Amino acid sequence: MVGGLAFLLILIFPLSALCQKASIKEVSVKRTNGVWKVGFNVENCFTEKMEEAIQTGIQTIFTFYLHLYQQRTWWRDRKVASMEFHHSIQYDPIRKEYNVALEENGSSIVTSDIEEAKRLMAKVEAVEIRPSSQLKPGRPTHLRIKAGLDPVRLPLHLEYLFFFVSLWDFETDWRIEPLPP
């Protein structure tokens, strides 16, 4: 009876619902000379399976999307800026080092501490987003931020054999951050 009840509960509430979803947190935005500097963290983006895969040397890439919109009346919001960049991590099991590449500033950091590598992967600091056209004064403007894990590419079609690697994907919901005038 108890086993049947547990099975029923798993069907109704899948285990994935119990996992915390990755999300964008601690957003900071500053405007200087028409350029927005944006910083944020992605929380709950690493699972135990992801860490195990990284430890085997599989390169892992996070993609970040930033879109700047200005509100219009009686029409869809106007996209005035857009950018996409990546963070990647690759573990070298011989040297026991993690190489973290941050595309937005062109830096590459090597560390032997996995917690430091995870922190670097999940944190974006002072990335600049510049409107492609003049913003109309007095109109509300907002920033949309999203992060996701790029699909893992295994050699020689091994992804068909190891289908479970897709189980550690993540993608955040869009975080909408209103900007000061």
CA atoms of 110 and 100, how far apart (whole Å): 6
Q: Looking at the predicted structure, is the pLDDT value of residue 105 above 80?
A: yes
Q: How far apart are CA 82 and CA 131, in angstroms?
A: 8
pTM of the full predicted structure?
0.80
The string of pLDDT tens digits covering residues 4-62 is: 444 433 444 444 444 568 899 999 999 888 888 999 999 998 888 888 889 988 899 99
Q: What is the pLDDT of residue 19?
A: 52
Instruction: Provide the pLDDT for residue 106.
Output: 93
> Could you give the CA distance from residue 29 to residue 38 in angstroms, rounded to a whole number?
5
Token digits for 32?
């200087």
Residue 138: what pLDDT?
81
Q: What is the CA radius of gyration of the chain?
A: 20
114 Cβ contact list (under 8 Å, min separation 6) = 51, 54, 98
Q: In angstroms, rounded to a whole number, what is the distance separating the alpha carbons of residues 107 and 101? A: 6
95: confidence class by pLDDT, cuts 50, 70, 90: very high
Regarding the domain with residue range 2-179, which homologous superfamily does it belong to in the CATH classification?
Immunoglobulins (2.60.40.10)
List the end-to-end C-alpha distance of the chain, in Å, as a whole number.
61
- Going from N- to C-terminal start, the domains of the chain cover 2-179
C-alpha span between 140 and 155 (Å, rounded): 47
* pLDDT tens-digit readout, 71-81: 888 888 889 99
d(CA 147, CA 121): 11
> In the prediction, which pLDDT does 157 show?
53
For 70, the 3-state DSSP assignment is strand
Angle, helices 48-55/114-122, rounded to nearest 10 degrees: 110
> What's the pLDDT tens digit per position in 114-163?
999 999 999 999 899 988 777 778 888 999 999 998 765 555 555 454 44
Give the per-residue pLDDT at 152: 57
CA 161 and chain centroid, separation: 27
Q: What pLDDT does 107 receive? A: 94
